[in-house]
Structures are given as C-alpha cells and as structure tokens.
Chain A
C-alpha cells in the first residue's frame, strides 16, 4: 500500500490533460462565440468568457479539494449526498426560479445554481454504492428494480421542472446496468425501438409494418420451423405491429407542439426555417461553412452575427465547427472518445465494485451528453437542450462535470483498495 501523501503520483494524468484540453477549448470558443469588441479581453468579467474563466478556476479548486479528500468519504456518504440532492430537486420545484421555461434554478443574487446538474454525480454515487453492496444478483428482481428507483426519482423530479433534456440523461445508466450483467438484448431492443419509432414517423406506419412483415417471412426460412420458434416469431411480430400503432398515437397525443415540430424538423417533414427548424438550420450552416480548416479564430460570421442561438451554451459546437473547421470538430470528437475510452479502461482496473460502477456511470453520463449535444448541432438527433460537457458555458454544469470526473480520478488513485 502506498502512503496517502503520494496521491499525486497515482493520479491518472491522461484524464487530467484531456479534461484541461476540453475546458480550454471551451473557454476559447465561448470567447469567439460571444466576442464583444468593446470588451475584448478574454478575462473581462462582465462578459461570458470572463465569467467562464472564474468557473474554470473554481472548478480546478473543487477538483483539488476532491483529490485531497479521503476516497472512502464518497462511498460512505454516497446515499447521504444522494438524499441531499433529491431534497434540492424538490426544493427547486417549490422555491426555484424559471429560466427559459424550465423551473430549475436557485437564484442566489445574480448567481444561479441548477441542482439538476449536481444530481447526476449524486445518483451515480448512490448507484455505485448500491451495486457494491452484498447479495447483488442481476437476475434478481430487487437488483433490477431498485436501480430504476435510484435514477427514476431524480429523472422524474427534473421532468417536473420541465427540463426534459436533463431528465433523459438518466436513461444513459442503462450502459451501467449492461456492464452489471443486464442482457445485451435490452440494448438491442432499445436501439430497435428507436429505429422503428423514427422510421414510423418518417415513412408512415404501413410501410414499416409491411417491411417488418416481410422480414418476419424471410426469417421463417432461416430458423428451425418448430412450434415454439414460430410462436415466438408471431408473438414478436404482433408486438412490433402494436408498437408501431402506438408510436403514431403517442406522437399525436402525448407530445407537446414544440417537441413534435423538433422531431418533424429532424425527419425532414417540416421545413420551417424561420420557426422550429431555424436553430438546426443555422447550426448546420455554421458548421458546414467552416470547411476543412475553418474560417479562423474570431472570423465566424454565423456565430458572430448571432445567427446561431444559444451559441455559448448548447450550440457551442457550432463555433468550433465554423472557426476551426473539420480539423477542430475532429479534435473535439477524438478528445471526447479518448476520454470515454480512458474512463472505461480505468474503471476496469478498479479493485472495488464501487469504483467500477462509478467509472461506468461517469462514462455513460458524459457519453449521453456528447452524443445528444453534438448530434443535435449536426442535425442527427432532435434539439434537446443539454450542454456539451466541459465546453459549454455555465457554472453549474462545469462544476458538476468536474465533480463527477474528479471523484473518479480520486477513486482511481485508490484503485488497489477495497473501498
């Protein structure tokens, strides 16, 4: 066993460097996105970029504090931290302020705090704690059911805050469950459901039903045509047809107008470039006009002339794409994938289940944000307002992602221990 004062030697510097690279890329691009020539210093505290510098410095301080904290603190107080966060989420529903339609902010003076951002790492801690307990068996009903409660509760509370995007993040924990032994069919079924739902909305339910029917017919030739196989095939077919029916129904009856039009825009059914499709269209123009090497630092006309909305927060990737081109976007994507892979690699070397699960949770949350945020700016997924980790402007989100990642880095320094 190493001495505790040697912790800095055990830190995974690769993660730290990837983190710093992304944070600095974010800062520079926020500067470019909201550049104001009257306040041209990147450290001007009256501007978003000056404020982001404060968030970065405080984040580094928070990271340092976490590294100096005893690793056992996080596992010991996992449930307590989780409980506290749930209370905050309830509190914000009762006392919170509303920003662009979401009732999810605690307003303390000019400073806004978004509990939903912090609920992510707290939920992850609680989940890790739960799975590292005794008598865990993924085939057991209790083991399957309780995690749903753990991440279902904050997701529901955030949904009540009218922040659908942040609530959807919790679905990413399915990756953790998969690692814990959940059948891969669940992942496959999830993907299939997505594909069927989207294609139903895109080409109409009868086409999809016809295609599924043909597929089922073709399958008959390839499988053993015994009684049980045929029964399950027919059962699956009926289930799918029922699902296709319900997709159309749900789309028409359960979704809000702005959600419907965002999906319609994505599917190319609606081409309202001044309304719902405006954001995505402008975002694609910004990224597409960047070309291979980009227009150059501070030369992005799309972002500078405010064509792109939310250019420093949810749509920050546009600035990267417009000013740094394909080279810039590739850099960001490669950095993210490297970060995710590195986290998974480190998670696997944990001796404790707590560290393993926590690591997978970190990767899942970051992956979800990465996939949805970038996917939406390039028109691959509907517009869902969640930030790009470490890069988007915002104190709450940067602090929360920093805490999320640094707890894992801390756990990793104690990887040999059974926490």
Chain B
C-alpha cells in the first residue's frame, strides 16, 4: 500500500511526542526541584489569612467632643490541624480557663473545620495579651488577631449611640460582606450608620513556619490589602447638655428630647433610666445585656422614641391652632368654664371666666379647649362631622404626630392619632360625635405620642408652622451630609396663627403654671401637662422653647408616674434650657433638689 511507504514518518511523530514530554520534564524539574521561589509555601510553610479588621469610625458631639473611640483587644485563634502536642494545663493557666473549657472550645473549633481558623478566646485585653504573647510560640496552631472594641469616655447617651456586637447568621446569609466573627452595629447610630462606621476590611497573607512563627508576608504581600478605618461621625448632640440631662433624670423614669428648631438637629436625646454604654462592650456584653433586659425598669428601652404617652395638656395649643386655621376660633373668642358649656370636662383651675384663648392656654383650661374641639368637629365646614374630624386629623399629623418623623436613629414608633375608621369600628359609622371623642380635646384618650414628637411639636410652634426632620448626625468623615431626609416639612396651619399659640405659651411661663420656674434671664414659652395614667400616678410633662424670639432650643420632658407637670418635668426643662443657653445654671438649689430626688 502507498501508505506503508510513509511509515517511516511514525518516527517523526513519536519524536514530537517525546520532545514535548522532555520539555515538560525539564520545565517541571526547574519548577519543582531547582527554582526555590515557589518553595516559600512548601511543606512546612502554611499560609495564614489574617483578616485586618478596620477600626470603626469615631463619634464626636457637635462641639467636637469625643463620645466614642476604640480600644485594641486580641482574639486568640486556633487552626486545629496545626496544633501539636502541648502542655494543655499550662496553656489553660495562661488563659485562665479550665481544662474542660479548653476541650469544649477545641472540639467546637475542630467540628467547624480542621483547616480553617476558629475563634478560641475572644477579646483578650491588651495587658493580658502581653503576657500570653511571650509564650505563644510554644503552642503551634494558635495565633492572635487584633480587634478593636468600643470605648466611651463618658457613660452617656447609651440609647442613641447604640452598641456593636457579633454579626448573626441571618445577616451573613443576606449580606456577603459579613463573615462569621465580624462586628456589626446592632442599635442606635451604630446600626443606622453601620456602612459609614464599619470601614473596609483588609487581608494579610502571612507565612508561618512549623514553630508557629510568622516568617513574613506571602510573595512580598502582593495579595495583601490594608484595612481602611471607618468614617468618623459628628453628631448634633451637645455632650454637656446630654450629660446634664442624664444627671437631672437620675432616679426618674422618662425622657428628655431637645431640638434646635431652625435645623432639626437633636441637642439632647435621653431616656431614663439609662445605662453605661461601656457595659455592652466586649466579653461582658452578653452577661450585662441579660441583666439589663431583665431589669423591671427597662433601662434598654429607648423611651425617647419608643415610649408612647398621651401628650395631655401640651396638646392643647395644637387644637387651638386647628381651630384658628378652620376659622371656628378667633383670638377674641371667649368661652365660659362654668355652667352648661363647661361640661363634660371640668376645669381644675381657678381663674377668670369666661376667658379667651391666651388665658385658656396659660391656665390650661379644659372646658375652653373642649369647646374649641367641639366647634372644629361641628362647624369646620368640610361637610359631615366625620369629614371635619378627618380634616382635624390631617392638620394634627402635618405637625408631626401620628407618623414616624423619619429620623436617622431608627426604631422609632409612630404614635397614634386615631383615624375616623377606628371610631367607626368602636362606635359604629355615624354613631360617634365630639362628645364621644371629647378626650382628644385635651390630648388624652387614644392619642399617643413619643417624647421626640412632643419636642418636635414645640419646634413646629417656635418655627411658626414647620419643622426639619429631627436628626442626630451632622456629618460623616470630612463631608457634611445634607441628607434629603432632613427636609423641611411645612404644616397645614397658616404661620400667622402661631403667634396666638406662642403668646399663650409665653404667658404660661410668665403668669401661668410655669411662672415659678423661669430660667435666669431667658423668656421661655412652654406648656405643662399632667397626663392621666390608668396604670398609676399621673405622668408629668412639659414642652417648651426658648428664647421667645429666635428660639434656639425646643424641648420636651416626660417623667412617668410623678404627678403634676409643673412639679418635675417643668423644672428639669427649665434647668436644661438655662444650661444650654447660658452655659451654666445659677439656680443651684433647684438643680440639687432635682438631681437628688428619686421617683422610683
């Protein structure tokens, strides 16, 4: 066959095969036997991926005072298959753990993976670490990983700062950024500003020898990335005012919220009883969290925006404003607080009668406000009483009640301004009237509001009809954020009507319920509230702004189960205003009495 004459060509084909084989062998001999550059990760060398945890951003108050910083601690990690025979007892003594504890942790780590690092002992303090570090070389398979923990120079503002903890499995599954053992903000601004605060994780690939010593970075660190620290936060909070408020609130249950009306910046935001934020850090967090959450006075509850209270008499001006807007109330309108028109809610104060709106606010007259509310519902001119009610509710909600304000702290409750439908459900459609829902006229009944909303309503009045959404963070890192969440919200009430409410509130402080507690040299406009509480003693409320011209602070104080608004909430608000505006308080005696009174 013709093919056979070509059979010598098989030699060339075989030669090609052999040449390629020999080239491969030569190359492999070079790579595997001669060239040592690839040996750096050879038999005895093991690569160790050490996550570089970034420090979280620092937190400052509005004047640049440090509120939150970081402290270095060390996590002891273990890679089970690298652990060699060792003196376990000595190791246990070093770590101050029991031999059972050692076995338990080691087995847990083994169960997770024999080749991947597991956490063995977390958050060893700097002092203890120095001691352990010297001896660690004796224990192959163990190494330390630096971490940072939050530290608070002053034990204030725990609720708004929130706390940091280890990320849970649900979050890991949802968000691939997080790996087991990472820290994440769990509440407060630590949670709502997590992305700015957390920074960027880095990784270092290190080589370690058989003796567990790091022998350098792998391939001169080409695969390494450095951790980038999180952005710092600058809060709107005034640390001095916050601290002062927490002092005044010692031994009292309740909340104080102060807002700068012209910006919506929150100056003080506190819930009492509080706790030292340093308690929820590090190794003691679990235990302390358990203790705090079992405490019957609920120190973990952020009453400032999760506590719901009827606003009581502090709500009366808002009803007057709706009446003025709907044209059913004129500054000259007078109602009598005796006789037929005074029922169903009796007047509890002794004052002139009949009286106008200014005196009614000043004296907190119940019958007057019941009359105003009844006129709104019967004569607003939107059609039926139900329509008039719906219009009233819209006006009230435009001033920041009955819905979340949208602050940047998160976990805010919306409170309640009852809907017409809810009354339909209770009484039947068309079967309720101003009489049935009369409690709303004095801020009681179904109305519920948070201290934040009450403080915000003081800001609305002082601004003559608008508010900026209250917020806690002024800027992050170098850039000041003008978040579109912090927008201006304008109420449905004509700004001119607010002069009436403001004058009424000024008279409260000058001639009315608050006249004994005027802050030194400052004209304050305010309104007390004594809120009926079916579960116990009345809640004491006060809302105010100051000074009366160009106000710089709007405030709400709520003190649970303490009696009259003028007895507790008013003096505390007055002291806070004096402290904020004057920088110091002259009324030392009052200050001391407030600080030292325990009400629960």
Q: Which residues of A contact B (CB under 8 A)?
A: 37, 175, 178-181, 184, 273-274, 284-285, 287-292, 295, 299, 301-302, 304-305, 321, 325-326, 329-330, 333-334, 336-337, 340-341, 344-345, 347-348, 353, 356, 360, 363, 367, 370-371, 374-375, 378, 380
Q: Is B479 an interface residue (CB 8 A)?
A: no
The residues of A that contact B522 with a CB separation of less than 8 Å are none
Is B28's CB under 8 angstroms from A329's CB? yes
Is B39's CB under 8 angstroms from A291's CB? yes
Q: Which residues of B contact A (CB under 8 A)?
A: 1-3, 6-7, 9-10, 12-14, 16-18, 20-21, 23-25, 27-29, 31-33, 35, 37-43, 46-47, 113-115, 219, 222-223
* 16 further interface pairs, Cβ-Cβ under 8 Å (given A292-B33, A375-B24, A378-B28): A179-B10, A184-B12, A273-B223, A289-B39, A295-B43, A305-B115, A325-B32, A326-B28, A326-B29, A330-B25, A337-B17, A344-B13, A347-B10, A353-B1, A363-B17, A371-B20
Is A363's CB under 8 angstroms from B12's CB? no
Pick from B7, B17, B21: contact of A348, CB under 8 Å: B7
Is A344's CB under 8 angstroms from B21's CB? no
Chain B interface SS verdict (over half)? helix
The residues of A that contact B2 with a CB separation of less than 8 Å are 181
Is B3's CB under 8 angstroms from A180's CB? yes
The residues of B that contact A333 with a CB separation of less than 8 Å are 21, 24-25, 28
How many residue pairs between the two chains, A and B, have CB atoms under 8 Å in the bound complex?
116
Most chain B beta-carbon neighbours within 10 Å: one of A274, A289, A299, A340 = A289
Is B37's CB under 8 angstroms from A288's CB? yes
The residues of B that contact A347 with a CB separation of less than 8 Å are 10
Pick from B13, B31, B41: contact of A378, CB under 8 Å: B31
Bound form: Cα–Cα A289–B47 in Å: 12
Is A288's CB under 8 angstroms from B114's CB? no
Query: If A285-B38, A305-B115, A356-B3 touch, does A344 touch B9 (CB 8 Å cutoff)?
Result: no
Give the nearest-CB partner of A351 in chain B. B1
Bound form: Cα–Cα A321–B29 in Å: 11
* 20 intermolecular pairs with C-beta atoms under 8 Å apart: A37-B114, A180-B6, A273-B219, A273-B222, A288-B37, A289-B40, A292-B33, A301-B47, A305-B47, A321-B31, A325-B32, A326-B28, A329-B24, A329-B32, A330-B25, A341-B18, A344-B13, A348-B7, A371-B20, A380-B27
The residues of B that contact A344 with a CB separation of less than 8 Å are 10, 13-14, 17
Is A181's CB under 8 angstroms from B39's CB? no
The residues of A that contact B24 with a CB separation of less than 8 Å are 329, 333, 374-375, 378, 380
Query: If A273-B223, A344-B10, A378-B24 touch, does A288 touch B32 (CB 8 Å cutoff)?
Result: yes
The residues of B that contact A184 with a CB separation of less than 8 Å are 9, 12
Bound form: Cα–Cα A246–B512 in Å: 97
CB distance from A127 to the nearest CB of B (A): 14
Is B3's CB under 8 angstroms from A321's CB? no
The residues of A that contact B47 with a CB separation of less than 8 Å are 301, 305
Pick from A179, A274, A325, A375: contact of B6, CB under 8 Å: A179
Give the nearest-CB partner of B27 in chain A. A378
Bound form: Cα–Cα A290–B42 in Å: 7
Give the nearest-CB partner of A132 in chain B. B3
Is B32's CB under 8 angstroms from A290's CB? yes
Is B32's CB under 8 angstroms from A291's CB? yes
Bound form: Cα–Cα A142–B10 in Å: 24
The residues of B that contact A179 with a CB separation of less than 8 Å are 6, 9-10, 13
Bound form: Cα–Cα A392–B18 in Å: 22
